[in-house]
Amino acid sequence: MLTELNPSQITAAEVIVGIPSYNEAEVISYPTQRASEGLVKYFGEKNSVIINCDNNSPDGTRDAFMNTPTEVPKIYLSTPPGVRGKGNNFKNLFKKSCELGAEAVIVLDADLKSITPRWVKNLGEPLFQDFGFVAPLYVRHKYDGTITNNIAYPMTRSIYGRRVRQPIGGDFGFSGELAEIYLRHEDWTPEVAEFGIDIWMTTMAICHDIPICQSFMGRPKIHKPKDPGASLGPMFLQVVGTIFDMMIKRVDFWQEVRWSKPTAIFGFGLGEMEMPPPVEVDIKRLYNKFQDGFDRWGAVWKTILSPNVYKKLSEVRTLNFAKFELPANLWADILNDWAVAYKNRAHEREKILESLIPLYYGRTCSFVVAVEPLNIQQAEEVIEDQCIVFERSKHSLLTRWVE
């Protein structure tokens, strides 16, 4: 059962800004106010509403949201008590969007500190120009978004053939038509119901040949970035699990994709680029977690990896900290072997995903060391080179997949 507060009794809206949340009472007012300003300034001629899709937060998120002064009306939706998950919040948003007949739905992270009203324009306007999905382009610190840089972006690009730089950015836009498509698909897994939702939405948009646009936000994403080695949390398992699940379900689409294609770009030229705040990384901790992984998971890795890949990985293990490198081509082979093992249920799937974590730490360590002397643009070229490696490994992946 859904909880809904709709004090303005909104029954129709052309533009929606949705803010999913769980326990964001302290921060949600900021993006809510900016969203309202953006909707008034850039979509003033359209009916709009701001919707908080919440997991029945006990910290007062609902009141913080509803009490935020805005010119635009607000609706609060909540999953029932005990039902958590960002994906479940999105399901409520999809349903409400269809109910209200929305043409454009813009989603913003509740903890966003760097949003300006212009983000609403840049994520929403392309939806009125024949685009169905808008992904953000923002400057992020080279150490921020390591799951995106080393897994989600190269895999989405190489497998599905579309270059979406921030496939799990958290801030994006989709059309009302795409909301209907999302609702029609019942392939929700528990992972999609949680943090897997972002990559699921991006992948579904690509697989349905929805015109995709990447929109430049102008400012960096400033939220709550974390040292990648400090606390991985359940997000890793849910995102990677969803990537592998989608590969199984969408094989008919991606086996026909050879090389990736770009998207259209929107919203560039917004003035001087502001630099993101620094992110501290404990590289030694990443290295140690990689090494510890061999002790815990080495026997499992041997059953998942192709013999030559395991051999190369064993060589990497012998490298001391000063010389450590887990190169991109090995990393691509590892992820390809993992995807195949997941499909074939070489072990219980949760075990397969968990056992990947130390290898992710190893790759992250290697990546951070490689880009440490580089500026953001140069680090982007390292990521780009890695993507080409992934694309070139596609044939090998497909060969193993259909064996």
Partner 1 sequence: MKKILIVDDEEVIRMLYGEELEDDGYDVVTTGTGQGLTELIGKEKPNLIILDIKMAEHNGLDLLQDIRKEFYNIPVILCSAYSSYKGDLKSIAADYYVVKSADLTELKQKIKMALEGHAPFESTPE
> Nearest distance from residue 390's CB to partner 1, in Å?
12
> Nearest distance from residue 244's CB to partner 1, in Å?
21
CA angle 226, 145, 88 (to 5 degrees): 85
Residue 265: which of 171, 66, 129, 368 has the closest Cα?
129
Q: What's the one-letter identity of residue 4? A: E
> Nearest distance from residue 265's CB to partner 1, in Å?
5
- Pairwise CA distance, residues 25 & 63, whole Å: 8
Beta strands in 82-211 (DSSP E): 104-107, 133-137, 172-175
Pick 5 or 376: Cβ nearer partner 1 = 376
- Pairwise CA distance, residues 77 & 84, whole Å: 13
Pick 32 or 202: Cβ nearer partner 1 = 202
Pick 346 or 376: Cβ nearer partner 1 = 376
- For residues 137 and 167, the answer to whether their CB atoms sit within 8 Å is no
Contacts of 34 (CB under 8 A, 6+ apart): 115, 116, 117, 119, 120
> Nearest distance from residue 329's CB to partner 1, in Å?
14
Contacting positions for partner 1 (CB under 8 A): 129, 137, 161, 163, 165, 211, 214, 216, 256-259, 261-265, 268, 377, 381, 392, 394-395, 398
DSSP 79: P
Q: Where does 152-232 have alpha helices with state H?
A: 153-160, 176-184, 197-207
Pick 61 or 214: Cβ nearer partner 1 = 214
Pick 93 or 164: Cβ nearer partner 1 = 164
**Distances 82 to 54, 57, 58, 125, 209 between C-alpha atoms, Å:** 12, 10, 11, 36, 36
> Nearest distance from residue 139's CB to partner 1, in Å?
10
Q: 133: how many CB neighbours lie within 10 A of its CB?
A: 25
Pick 51 or 383: Cβ nearer partner 1 = 383
> Nearest distance from residue 127's CB to partner 1, in Å?
14
Pick 188 or 216: Cβ nearer partner 1 = 216
- Pairwise CA distance, residues 138 & 168, whole Å: 12
> Nearest distance from residue 284's CB to partner 1, in Å?
32
Q: How far is CA 284 from the centre of its chain?
A: 26
> Nearest distance from residue 165's CB to partner 1, in Å?
8
Q: How far is CA 180 from the centre of its chain?
A: 21
Residue 366: which of 331, 395, 398, 337 has the closest Cα?
331
Pick 185 or 261: Cβ nearer partner 1 = 261
